[in-house]
Amino acid sequence: MKLVFATHNQNKFEEVKKIMPKQINLVSLSDIGCRDEIAETGKTLEENARLKADFVTKNYELPCFSDDTGLLVDVLKGAPGIYSARYAGETKNSEDNIEKLLAELEGITERKACFKTVIALNLNGKSHIFEGIVEGEITTEKSGHHGFGYDPIFKPSNQTATFAQLPLKIKNSISHRGRAIQQLLTFLKAHLDG
């Protein structure tokens, strides 16, 4: 079965492709000739994930899944949330986003936050939603060199290190995206077996 992962992020694509069942031919937006930057105009992570999956299904008539992820900081009433990637501007610069968030939290001791990933899958005319959440806190400074985005300042609960300090295998086993992807894989395997 051919399945589109609606992303232009090659690193994310390769990471997910490695864990897909062999019966699934996973392809990216580039693989299907889609060069569009699909607008994320939704008000929630779920709406944005659905928008991207629906765009591919409508324009390319292929089964597709898409994800959207946000960092939600309690004291900031859930910000940066759906604006996580462009928190410091449309350039989507991770360093700028981190600096802005750390500046906003300066002097604040309550730093609880969570990462949330929502995956929207369009398959056989039906839409399915999968969700992964990991609780944690924002550190006061950057630590670690692995990962991307806010990983250097996010320390998951029950861990002594940030996502950027954890080995990738451990991060993927406890991360928001990892949890959502596992739900997707469980669903796809059941669908393929059934």
Task: Check residue 140 and give its pLDDT.
Answer: 96
Domains and their CATH numbers in the chain: 2-193 (3.90.950.10)
Alpha-carbon distance of 131 to 68, in angstroms, equals 10
What burial class does residue 163 get, using C-beta atoms within 10 Å of its C-beta: 0-12 exposed, 13-18 middle, 19+ buried? buried
Task: Check residue 194 and give its pLDDT.
Answer: 63
Task: Check residue 12 and give its pLDDT.
Answer: 80
CB within 8 A of 159, min separation 6: which ones?
A: 136, 166, 174
Alpha-carbon distance of 180 to 154, in angstroms, equals 18
Alpha helices in 74-155 (DSSP H): 94-104
Q: Which of 68, 96, 151, 193 is catalytic?
A: 68
**Successive 10-residue mean pLDDT values, the chain, 194 residues:** 91 82 92 91 96 96 95 97 92 92 97 97 96 97 90 96 92 90 92 74
Task: Check residue 68 and give its pLDDT.
Answer: 94
Task: Check residue 65 and give its pLDDT.
Answer: 97
Map residue 117 onto helix, strand or coil: strand
Classify each residue of 130-143 as buried b or exposed e, where b means 16 or more C-beta atoms within 10 Å of its C-beta. Answer: bebebebbbbeebe
Task: Check residue 146 and give its pLDDT.
Answer: 84
Concerning whether 68 is annotated as a catalytic residue, the answer is: yes
Alpha-carbon distance of 120 to 68, in angstroms, equals 9
Task: Check residue 62 and give its pLDDT.
Answer: 95
